[in-house]
Structure 1
């Protein structure tokens, strides 16, 4: 009896440890959001979810065709994770925003109804100057310091977040439940190409921006269906560099990395560096009880026909990592070169099928009750 009691006690504490490790920063997170987070933790121990930006919205040579994705056309299943960008929901005329809200809402609700996962990026146009989301010398202003608390445009930023909150809360499942999202704002902040980038705000300003954004959405606007993801580009080589702008464990659920530069961009491969950096992300996540992901990567035009198995899969499997998902960038509708997932007839399609068949990778059809405990 004593041995059984001890065993049950150990099991109880082990179970509690897992629960603590999977706790979101939002104590009021919906049950579906909490379940998604826990289930991604569990799946990451043996598998990785494959993701593709804008996969069901458009693809190579097509747009707005229900049920279609280039990935599904090649392997018979949609990506498990689909990226959606909410840039059209800010900085546009009201009528344009309303149309975009409806279109993006349908994309998200359709993915949820199929059992898939949506991750949200935000190519946010500069809210205090021209220049769009990129930094343009002589045009762009360093907006971060103006929109954080105490900044002259802070109230304007609150209005923007109020608009986003309304859209986040309008995303409903069949039973009226809020649809969970992985929210990945202000990505690639360690580069200089975006107005929120490293050269355009201090570490403290960036942390303040992140903390206010998450706190205002969660505590003031009652948005409780978000998993907050922090993802620099690949400009770091140490944990200290990776965390230079990290806002703190109480403000982040998931940590990731965007990395094209080490993965074959312009014909340059540095896979040892890619492996080293994703391990930094992975190990930091484990140590700090966060989820980890390879939040963006890819090879434009997939000019290496075995890139998926000979590059991506090798980087992902070099070490025993716990990564929730890997996402490749979009397939442009009109461009003959801007695409990152193969389509029927592409030389990389056969290799991608091997990537799909590998038991390590999961696609939408592999997900079972991802929103239930």
Structure 2
């Protein structure tokens, strides 16, 4: 075998390995969705994108001010990843849903136009009983077994997904293409606080719910702009526990973890555990050719003014992980204490600026052509 043959063989193998490693579960994914997925894989080798829930929808003491976010007010750039929740698109009146569709659509399209990324969560109100998305004893029903295939409310669930599919497909940029989204349904399923949680359905029922949801959106409703994200809370200590409800590699694009409990909630820090769990997520993702992310975390009120560099950054960087992004929770409009990103005048601002300036972190202003190959 001559040198030219060796070189071309090596390039072919590298190209094949790269394409396989970055393959979405949707073979019909839009070009921009596939490009976003590949680019996030590449960026994760050296950087982690910073995300904030509802960042441009509202913040500490304000709401509905186009172009504003608390993060931008502090460092001059929006977060690279912005969380949007589609709870208002289900379980409400038709009029309320229509208004919410337009409001959330604008948030997503504006983020896309700026070159940012949207991740979608779904605090889904119980579709078969009262109680909202939280589990309420004597009120909530274990809805999972009722809405999966064969369940008595399965057709109702299909109608809900049909309406969501219409909204997903309506999200288009100026070029007419559908906007890529990271879709993270049924999160924190290893806890008991949501009706889809561990005590309220079996592992097989949860897997069936996930597989039907992704399969129906993709194969029956022709939604091809989603990256499917699987994220438990922090209740696992091993790969076996992390994957107890994993629906299979053919149904998941991104794996993550939500973890507040090890990161300072109620003054309790267990950073060794946080690091261990993130490594489980990271290593599973690498072994199974998936993206990895720290899908939710934060410290309410940021009572530790150096939390971002002394806690979060150290946890993220400890093991040279390939994490696509980290997302902190929202800044409530009215609550004086419910916020997770600093705003002007907060004691954590100097530390957050250091976090922003670090070569490892990326914000929206750092992203270049994230939707292009």
Q: TM-score, normalized by length of structure 2?
A: 1.00
Separation of aligned partners in 2, 1:114 and 1:16: 32
Separation of aligned partners in 2, 1:194 and 1:142: 10
What residue number does 2:256 align with? 256
Q: Secondary structure at the match of 1:323?
A: coil
What residue number does 2:159 align with? 159
What residue number does 1:132 align with? 132
Separation of aligned partners in 1, 2:2 and 2:137: 72
Q: Provide Cα deviations, 1:264-311, integer angstroms capped at 9, x if missing partner.
A: 000000000000000000000000000000000000000000000000
Separation of aligned partners in 1, 2:350 and 2:66: 25
Separation of aligned partners in 2, 1:5 and 1:358: 42
What residue number does 2:310 align with? 310
Separation of aligned partners in 2, 1:59 and 1:16: 44
What residue number does 1:208 align with? 208
What residue number does 1:267 align with? 267
Consecutive unaligned residues of structure 1, counting only runs of 5 or more, are none
What residue number does 2:147 align with? 147
Q: Secondary structure at the match of 1:191?
A: coil
Separation of aligned partners in 1, 2:29 and 2:196: 28
What residue number does 2:13 align with? 13
Q: Provide Cα deviations, 1:31-87, integer angstroms capped at 9, x if missing partner.
A: 000000000000000000000000000000000001000000000000000000000
What residue number does 2:197 align with? 197
Separation of aligned partners in 2, 1:66 and 1:124: 27
Separation of aligned partners in 1, 2:225 and 2:14: 27
What residue number does 2:67 align with? 67
Deviation at 1:4, TM superposition (A): 2.2
Separation of aligned partners in 2, 1:361 and 1:336: 28
Deviation at 1:320, TM superposition (A): 1.0
Separation of aligned partners in 1, 2:366 and 2:35: 17
Deviation at 1:2, TM superposition (A): 1.1
> How do residues 261-340 of structure 1 correspond to structure 2 at under 5 angstroms?
261-340=261-340
Separation of aligned partners in 1, 2:250 and 2:66: 39
Separation of aligned partners in 2, 1:311 and 1:229: 25
Deviation at 1:11, TM superposition (A): 1.2
Q: Could you list the runs of 4 or more consecutive aligned residues of structure 1 that deviate by over 4 angstroms after TM superposition? A: none
Q: Secondary structure at the match of 2:324?
A: strand
Separation of aligned partners in 1, 2:355 and 2:154: 46
Separation of aligned partners in 1, 2:94 and 2:17: 47
Deviation at 1:207, TM superposition (A): 0.1
Separation of aligned partners in 1, 2:229 and 2:65: 30
Q: Provide Cα deviations, 1:162-185, integer angstroms capped at 9, x if missing partner.
A: 000000000000011000000000
Separation of aligned partners in 2, 1:214 and 1:317: 32
Separation of aligned partners in 1, 2:364 and 2:94: 34
Q: TM-score, normalized by length of structure 1?
A: 1.00
What residue number does 1:88 align with? 88
Separation of aligned partners in 1, 2:81 and 2:276: 24
Separation of aligned partners in 2, 1:361 and 1:16: 29
Deviation at 1:8, TM superposition (A): 1.6
Equivalent residues, number: 373
What residue number does 2:77 align with? 77
- C-alpha RMSD of matched pairs (Å): 0.5
- Confirm or deny that 1:232 pairs with 2:265: no
What residue number does 2:46 align with? 46
What residue number does 1:31 align with? 31
Separation of aligned partners in 2, 1:202 and 1:192: 12
Separation of aligned partners in 2, 1:345 and 1:129: 44
Separation of aligned partners in 2, 1:4 and 1:165: 49
